[in-house]
Structure 1
Amino acid sequence: MADPADTPADLPPCPSAQGGGTGLLPPELRGWMLLLAATGAVEQRLRSVVKERLDVSHDEFLVLCLLAELPREGLRMTQVAELLGRPKTRLTYQVACLQHAGLVTRKTVCGDKRGVEIALTDTARRLLREASAALSETVTEALAHVMGPEQCAALIGLLPEAAAKPGAEPGAEPSVVA
């Protein structure tokens, strides 16, 4: 794991995380702001670990993660761009870097000469398996740093159905990963 001294300085707390919910924002927007703050904290801490463990950029890492959740046949580039919310031209550059590093393969889609499909290589799968403990620990630590019970409750407010999962106690406080 990266030395904490090598990680960027912590960002100031998100105003929505200051508690109370006394501002002008409705709970849904407050929850959204908390989600953005938590995502930013995770991304900030992951950047150095991803570079150290996988030697790829954060955006390239997102491509690898998306492909890691799929069967070996891969995904079309247009689908990857849509799922990650990235411009196709930027994705083309990222995939070229990943291909040059031996982490993805590219092939033309059968029956569609303009379609391109990408998939993880065995090397990428091995590297992701080896790095997964450090990466998940980094995510957990970053979330624990910015998420307390009040913030978790605000986020649960965005998805009330999630709080009503089978086995969940009605009105129970969401658990915090620490």
Structure 2
Amino acid sequence: MADLEKRPADQPGCPSSRGGGLLPAELRAWMLLLAATGAVEQELRSVVKGNLDVSHDEFLVLCLLAEEPEEGLRMTRVAELLGRPKTRLTYQIACLQHAGLVTRKSVHGDKRGIEVALTDKARELLRAASEPLAETVSRALNRVVGPEQREALSALLPDLATG
């Protein structure tokens, strides 16, 4: 991770940024990127809780559904896209439904299929919270993405700069 302003002086930078260990360059680069995104997520958690009163994982579900048409997505697809076990997602969806933020319904013609969609309440909350959430992400990324992360990303995706 890039040296953070808040990092104590006696704390070294991210070990994987130095190289020379057992990991190949691609895995070192991936670890640097994970550390940066983890730092952004950590900063975002409190803003999500304060603005939406949901957990970070529930927020990810809301964001995924916000990008879908109003009819929503099957729960199996949500679990797949978020890389979550279906049982954990079922609990998160139940919490979101209890808060009035999502609806659940059976998929027509598939008695096992469940589809989830945002409610109007959730859409309004996301619209109202989007600016402070976006500002938090931008501020955190600008703080934690330094030369090592940019170099790592360029090494992993060499065609990124050229499109």
TM-score category of the 2 structures, normalised to the smaller one: 0.7 to 0.9
Q: Which whole-Å deviations, capped at 9, do the CAs of 1:5-48 have from their partners, x for residues lacking one?
A: xxxx869643224x5x4444322112101111011101111111
SS of 1:105's partner is strand
CA contact (8 A) 2:33 2:152 kept: no
Mapped to 2, the partners of 1:56 and 1:150 lie a distance apart of 33
Amino acid at match of 2:60: L
1:154 equivalent to 2:162? Answer no
Name the residue aligned to 1:121: 119
Equivalent pair of 2:32/2:148 in contact (CA under 8 Å): no
Residue 31 of structure 1 aligns to a residue whose secondary structure is helix
- Counterpart position of 2:16: 16
RMSD between aligned alpha carbons?
1.8
Read off the aligned partner of 2:29 and give its amino acid letter: G
Question: 1:115 is paired with a residue of what secondary structure?
Answer: strand
> Structure 2: which amino acid aligns with 1:117?
E
Segments of 4+ moved more than 6 angstroms: 9-12
For 1:100 and 1:159, how far apart are their aligned partners in 2? 42
Superposition pairs of residues 156-175 of structure 1, within 5 angstroms: 156-165=154-163
Q: CA deviation at 1:65?
A: 0.7
Count of matched residue positions in the alignment of Structure 1 and Structure 2: 155
Closer/same/farther in 2, CA of residues 10 and 79 from structure 1, 3 Å limit: farther
CA distance in 2, matches of 1:49, 1:157: 32
Q: In 2, Cα distance between the equivalents of 1:154 and 1:125?
A: 36
Native 8 Å contact 2:49 2:55 kept in 1 = yes
Q: Taking structure 1 as the reference length, what is the TM-score of the superposition?
A: 0.81
The sequence identity of aligned pairs, in percent, is: 74
Taking the aligned partners of 2:113 and 2:146, their CA distance within structure 1 comes to 45
Gaps of 5+ in 1: 1-8, 166-178
